[in-house]
Amino acid sequence: MGIKIADFEMKTPIIAASGTFGYADEYEDFCDVSQIGAIATKGITLEPRLGNEGDRIFETDCGMINRIGLENIGIERFIEEKIPILKKKNITYILNAAGSTIEDYAQLASIANKAGIEAIELNVSCPNVKSGCLEFGVDSNSLYELVLKVRKNYDGCLIVKLTPNVTSIESLALAVEKAGADAISAINTLKGLGIKIDYINGKFYKKEVQGGLSGKCIKPVALAMVKRIRSAVKLPIIGMGGISRLSDLFEFISAGADAFEVGTHNFTQCDACVSLALELEEFMRENKFSTFEDLKTVIKEIN
């Protein structure tokens, strides 16, 4: 069940996606967090952020829209307060890093390098902030420059999280590969708008939330994007977008994924990452697949 991306080792190929699992051990009342392949932390910036005001969550059919706005405690407090917990409880983690400028990302990478953080997931695709992130993630030249500067400052496993809100995700993947990243994770949320109209006591009331759409409803888009990325690059791909059951893992492997992130499903099944890993392990044992790589090979060879 164990996999390795660059020099970063995980117990299983299933990762808890950023923004759905807190910073460290917030889910320990529901599962053994140390048994998850890795958790991708909440998006971390140089300075603490309060996030967006107003409504932040809107439930949709088979999904949700969020506009949290990268609320977080900042890199210094993360290193001081959260890393000791992660180390004490033997939790494998990936730092999800976000910034407003290329220099922000480069500085975060340098700090992470000095702190001995083994893996970074660059968030260049969050649609819920006014500056940074998605600005870099939709332009291949800007993305190349960003990843190149981060790579110079960081020796660990470098993952870049791509947005589906583009015309050519292939050109972005190629830029990431050329700049020296170790892997790609895809996809981040789709841009969405949630509107709810209530009629109460002779008057209409409206609730509106515009932000990132996630959940089961985006899986067909995620599969298509992963397949397009695989056609363009040879980097390992961490696939995500609507994963909730064992068959989803097989579908993402078929499209070109090498590992998985589970996000929105964590909100409805708190032990989803552990349960999926156990289900995958049982399937492999019953069907005599000795390693996860063997399973991937068989699935990818299906015509």
Catalytic residues: 126
CA atoms 107, 18, 183, 279: torsion sign: positive
Helix, coil or strand: residue 89: coil
* CB of 169 closer than 8 Å to CB of 237: no
- Residue 214: CB atoms within 10 A of its CB come to 28
SS (H, E, C) 118-144: CEEEEECCCCCCCCCCHHHHCCHHHHH
**Which residues does 129 contact at the CB level (< 8 Å), separation at least 6?**
69, 70, 98, 100
* CB of 240 closer than 8 Å to CB of 222: yes
| Closest to 22 measured CA to CA, from 96, 107, 128 | 96
* CB of 162 closer than 8 Å to CB of 187: yes
